[in-house]
Structure formats: C-alpha cells, structure tokens
Structure 1
Amino acid sequence: MLTWIIIGVVVVVLLFVIVGAYNRLVALDQAANQSFADIDVQLKQRQDLIPNLVETVKGYAAHEKGTLDAVIQARSAATAASSVNDKVQAENMLTASLGRLFALSEAYPDLKANTNFQQLQLDLSDIENKLAAARRFFNNAVAEFNAVRRQFPTVLFAGLFGFGSDKPFFDVGADERAALNAAPPQVKF
C-alpha cells in the first residue's frame, strides 16, 4: 500500500512539472508572438509612409528613377514577407534603399528644404526608434523562450508539446551591423 502511495505522489509531482513546463512554454511563446505583432505594427506604419516619401522625392528628383524604383520594390517585398526570416531580409533591403533615398536628398537642396520631406523624415525617424524598441522587446522574449525551452526539465517535454526548435531573433542584418561597427564620423570646426 505504501508503494502505491509513493508512486501516486511521484506521478502527481511529475504531472505538475509537465503541466508547469507546458504552461510556461505557452506563455513565453505567446509573449514572443505578441512582441512580433508589435514589430509588425511599426513596420506597417513605416511601409505606409514610403509612398508619400517617394512621391515627394519624385517632384524634385524625377530622373533618379533607379533609386525610387528600388525603394518601391523593397517596400513591396517587405509588405509581402510573412515569416520572421523573410521579414528580416525584406526590411533590411528596405532600410538600405531608404538610406540611398535620403542620401539622394543631399544632392537636391530644394528637396532637403521641403517641409513635407522634412516631416516625412521626422515621422520615419520616430517609427525607426519605436521599431528598434519593439525589436529589442521581441529579441528579449525570444531569448527567454529559447532559454526556458532548453532548461531541464522543460527540454525533456518541449518537443512533445510542439516547441522543439528555437525561435529566430529579429537580426539587423550584416550590412547594418557593419555600419554600426564602422568608425564614427569625425566632426571638425
């Protein structure tokens, strides 16, 4: 009789551990999904600004068709992307093409002085700051999920519950990473 009581206690404790591990994984998975949805909102706002930006630039630099087409194509790719990895690649391409578009404004003083263009730049800068914060939050949620998924005893059950692989981080990409690691500009008076 004592043996059955011990076995019963062990089974109950094991069930609590399994249920606890499952619930923790579900909560962390949901947090990561929610934080990715926050990134999606910021990306959508950024994508919505781009047609206005392109139209404003067209008025001043219509013969820069290659740059404008690259921005439009990158926006289309970013809008169509669905997975995390596809979104990361598409958004990195969009960021690079926007960088070229803003560099173009340096050659056109009238464009640079245009209040509509300046407001669009400010709006885009604000969205980029919010997007950076959302990416940090998402990457923290993914890191926590991945860590818990690998911890004992969760690692024993994660695959059974459908949590068998790590979630990917929202990486800035090689080009942006290289730009971040570049030497800072020198300011001289």
Structure 2
Amino acid sequence: MSGFSGFLVGLAAVLLFWGIGAYNRIMRLRNKIGDAYAQLDQHLSTRAKLVARLMELLLPELVTELAAFDALHSAQTDCDTAAAAVRARPAVADPVAQLAVAVAVHAAALTRLLALLDQHPELRARDDIQPLLDELRAIEQQRSFARQLFNEAVRVYNEATNQFPTRILAGIYGFKEARSL
C-alpha cells in the first residue's frame, strides 16, 4: 500500500467515523426534543382533564353561555388532535405549528370562560371550583416551563443541524429543521 492510498484509507475512516458521530449526535438531540415534548404533553393532558371537570361543574350554572362552552370544547378537541400529531413526530415542524395555533385558540376560549366565571363570584367561591382553578393555574405555570424546555431542545437541535459540515449530513440523512412552540 502506497503512502497516498494509506492516506485515502485514513481519510475515509475519519470521514466515516465523523459521519457516524454526527448522525448519533443529531439523533440524540432529536430524541431530546421528544423527551421535552413528553413532559409538555403530560401537562397538556392534565390541563385537558381539569378543563373538562371545570366545564362539567360550570355548565349547569351557566346554561345561557353555551357558546363559550362549545368554543372551549372545540378548542380542546383541536388541541388534543394536534397534540397527538406532535406526539407521533415531535421534531416535525407542521404538526408543531398546528399545535401552537390550537394552544393559542384554547387559551383564548379558556380566558373567555374564566371571564364569565369572574362575573359570577358565587361560583368562583364554591369549594369544588376554586381548587380546580388553583390547580389549573399551577399546571399552566408548569406547562409554560415545559414549553421553554421544548423550545430550548429545538433550538439546540436546529443549531446542530445548521452547523457546517454537519449541515451536509443533515441533508443527506433527511433531518429537517424543527419548530418551537
């Protein structure tokens, strides 16, 4: 084996091991996005249960406000559907964008229901409603923190896939840019 062919074999080995390392790094970062989303998804699920329980308690008392309940129920359904799509592939941008929209619509519908509840202080003071509101407020803070963790995982992944020369391999391996919430 001549010196030049030995050099080429060595270069090929270095490139091969670098490619494997880069692939493993990107996969590890993409998996961190999935792990971060799992935490966020847990909070979304808990919020859905709390909102369903709150609606169940308030509907008999606020029968005249069916539009607000329908809007919240529809927003919750959309949020659940979008969350399931993200759960399947948390590093894909389109489902995450749909979830971001669904969460914003849900927040607006929930705000509307809470505003209605503010107009009825006797309902807010009930022993079965106030603890739900406190728990909902706490889960919203936890969800906000989980969203930050998800967004940070997305940022790190996107930075890794956009760095040269890993950017070349990301294109070859089919790694696309992820989207934050």
TM-score if structure 2 supplies the norm length?
0.89
Give the whole-Å Cα distance in 1 for the aligned partners of 2:79 and 2:12. Answer: 50
What is the match of residue 27 of structure 1? Answer: 28
What is the match of residue 74 of structure 2? Answer: 73
- Spell out the pairing of 1:12-161 with structure 2 (5 A cutoff): 12-81=13-82, 82=85, 83-161=95-173
Between Structure 1 and Structure 2, the one with more helix by share is: 2
Give the whole-Å Cα distance in 1 for the aligned partners of 2:153 and 2:114. Answer: 33
- Measure how far apart 1:96 and its partner are: 0.7
What is the match of residue 167 of structure 1? Answer: 178
Unaligned runs of 5+ in 1: 171-189
Unaligned runs of 5+ in 2: 86-94
- Measure how far apart 1:18 and its partner are: 0.8
Q: What are the superposed Cα offsets for residues 139-168 of structure 1, whole Å, 9 maximum, x if unpaired?
A: 0000000000000110111111110x2101
What is the match of residue 92 of structure 2? Answer: none
TM-score if structure 1 supplies the norm length?
0.85
Which secondary structure does the structure 1 equivalent of 2:37 belong to? helix
Q: What are the superposed Cα offsets for residues 63-108 of structure 1, whole Å, 9 maximum, x if unpaired?
A: 1111111111111111122221222111111111111111111111
Give the whole-Å Cα distance in 2 for the aligned partners of 1:23 and 1:35. Answer: 18
What is the match of residue 177 of structure 1? Answer: none
Give the whole-Å Cα distance in 2 for the aligned partners of 1:167 and 1:128. Answer: 24
Q: What are the superposed Cα offsets for residues 35-63 of structure 1, whole Å, 9 maximum, x if unpaired?
A: 11221111111111112101222233221
Give the whole-Å Cα distance in 2 for the aligned partners of 1:136 and 1:127. Answer: 14
Give the whole-Å Cα distance in 2 for the aligned partners of 1:143 and 1:66. Answer: 39
CA RMSD in angstroms comes to 1.1
Give the whole-Å Cα distance in 1 for the aligned partners of 2:21 and 2:71. Answer: 49
Give the whole-Å Cα distance in 2 for the aligned partners of 1:62 and 1:108. Answer: 13
Number of matched pairs: 169
The answer as to whether partners of 1:60 and 1:110 remain within 8 angstroms in 2 is no
Which secondary structure does the structure 2 equivalent of 1:63 belong to? helix
What is the match of residue 175 of structure 1? Answer: none
- Measure how far apart 1:8 and its partner are: 1.4
